[in-house]
Each structure stands twice: as structure tokens, then as C-alpha cells.
Amino acid sequence: MRTKMVAGNWKMNKTLQEGVALATELKEKVANPRCEVVIATPFIHLATVAELLKDSPIRVAAENCADHESGAYTGEVSAAMVASTGATYCIIGHSERRQYYAENYDILRTKTDLCLKNNLRPIFCIGEVKEEREANRQNEVVKAQLEGSVFHLSEADFRRVVLAYEPVWAIGTGLTATPEQAQEMHAFIRSLVEAKYGKAVADDTTILYGGSCNAKNAAELFANPDVDGGLIGGASLKAEDFTTIINAR
């Protein structure tokens, strides 16, 4: 049985105090979830939030990590440092990292490897931009992203990876993929995993949907057989909305 999951990605929002307040509210509201619940916070929040949530079912993730193990990389935060805070997941390959920080397949492969080496579960993001969808190239795009950065993994390592399909045209735009579009792509992604690692692994792979998923549309998206949960941006910044989404899973 694959893990069902709702993960929040705070992105570059919330001061430390605001983040602690949100995590405190979530801890109260999310005592007994039916799925795995993860919040990805900015680096500076991680240690405090992980400590605050240590007796709660909510897990903590970083939004990124460095592509080097340690050393003279001013301003960077390594996977080992992330793990030392108590975080257990790390988002890798978010489209905003690919687009604004030029993170290519090789960099993301290295980051994935470093997460796994440091016992962090990567939440690996894939998805096409609007022009690629309009040209009906979305399948080849996500295939190349998987082949470029995660399909080199051993079966045991790949089993630790959570995939998140986030069509870039749906992120922060209010243009959610339709449930049919989401299901079609998730089924395609699962077929790629099956071709690479076999049916048992594909059946166990958690594939999240992200992109304008909110309290109103989450249940409809999660009702699809290959949509195992969501990676939530804007709607994860309000405890009530995020809790509604968790309860829809």
C-alpha cells in the first residue's frame, strides 16, 4: 500500500514567529490525520518547528538543500544540516528552483543523492510549463525530468522518493489542472516508474499533485486513483484551509 500524503510548501513566506504560530495551530488541529502530513518550511524555521512538532504526527521538510556535501559554499545549507534539525523530508526540483536558480538535471540528481545519503526523503517535483502543455509535450518533459535526476537510483533508494507532479502553469495561478488532466498524467508517471522499476514499486510510489490545489478542489483531485495527495503552496499558509485539505485525503 502506498502512503497517502498532504504536504505544505510555505515557500518564502512567514517570519520565524509567524511560522511558529502556524505550526502551533496546525499541531492542535491535526492530531489524528488519515494520511502522512508534511510541512516544508524555510531553513531558518526548521529546528524550531521540528522541535515543536516532535510529539505530533506532522513531519517537517526543507524546501531545498545544497548540491555539495559541506565546505566553502557561503549561504548554502547541506542535506546533513537539514537532517540534523529533525526534518525528515526535503523538496527537490521545485519549478521555482529550476526556473529562478537554474537547477538542471545534474544538480537535482546530486541533491537527490545527498538527501538519500543523509536519510532525508526527497519530495521530487516534476511538471511542464504552459508552452510545453500547449504543444502537447508534457509527457516527454516529465519523462526527461525523471530520467535526468531520479531514475539512476537503486530500487531501494527510489522507494524512499515521493514524486510531485506540479504543472508550472497551475502554480500560484488559480488554474488548477482538471481532475482528468491530473489523473492522466499521474497514471503516465506511474507507468514510467513501472517500466523502470517494475509493478510492485510503481504501485507503492506516492505521487502528489500540486498547483492551485485548495480547500475547495482538493477532494475532487484526490478522488483519482493515481493521485495520492497534494503538495500545497498558498493554501498551506492558513491552518484552516490546510486542515480542510488534509481531511479531504
Whichever of 94 and 98 has its CB closer to ligand 13P, that residue is 94
Burial of 54 (0-12, 13-18, 19+ CB in 10 A): exposed
Whichever of 46 and 235 has its CB closer to ligand 13P, that residue is 235
211 contacts: CB under 8 Å, gap ≥ 6: 127, 166, 167, 168, 169, 170, 171, 173, 175, 176, 177
Residues in contact with ligand 13P by CB under 6 A are: 9, 94, 166, 171-172, 210-213, 231-235
Catalytic residue among 36, 45, 63, 94: 94
CB of 210 to ligand 13P, least distance (A): 4
**Residue 180 catalytic?**
no
Question: Do the Cβ atoms of 157 and 199 come closer than 8 Å?
Answer: no
CB of 114 to ligand 13P, least distance (A): 20
Dist. CA 145–CA 143, nearest whole Å? 5
CB of 129 to ligand 13P, least distance (A): 13
> What is the three-class DSSP state of 8?
strand
Whichever of 48 and 236 has its CB closer to ligand 13P, that residue is 236
Catalytic residue among 36, 63, 132, 166: 166
**Residue 166 catalytic?**
yes
Catalytic residue set:
94, 166
